[in-house]
Amino acid sequence: MRIFLRLLILFLAVSTVLSRFRRFFAGAARTRPEPRLRPSGGGRLVKDPVCGMYVPEETAIRAGEQCFCSEACRDKYVS
């Protein structure tokens, strides 16, 4: 009977540790930072024809068909 109790306690201890490990790894996977390959908003990148920089379409300065990284580049292109 004593051996049975010991086995029961051992089993409980092992299962507790295992569930803690599982929760730890699940939490680690959840808090992993997202890859930042795409700009926020999922928009596409457009190329500034003046300086050659790629800027997210939604934040680009527009002048007709062209997109620019800044007003300075747009002015340079227009002039």
CB 56 within 8 A of CB 71: no
The dihedral through the CA atoms of 47, 50, 51, 56 has a sign that is: negative
51 binds Zn ion (CB under 5 A): yes
| Cα distance between residue 26 and residue 52, in whole Å | 42
48 binds Zn ion (CB under 5 A): yes
60 binds Zn ion (CB under 5 A): no
Q: Give the one residue of 46, 60, 73, 74 binding Zn ion; rule: CB under 5 A.
A: 73
Structure tokens at 13: 């201890």
Return the range that interacts with Zn ion (CB under 5 A); candidates 4-12, 24-32, 37-45, 70-78. Answer: 70-78
Q: Which residues form the interface with Zn ion (CB under 5 A)?
A: 48, 50-51, 53, 69, 73
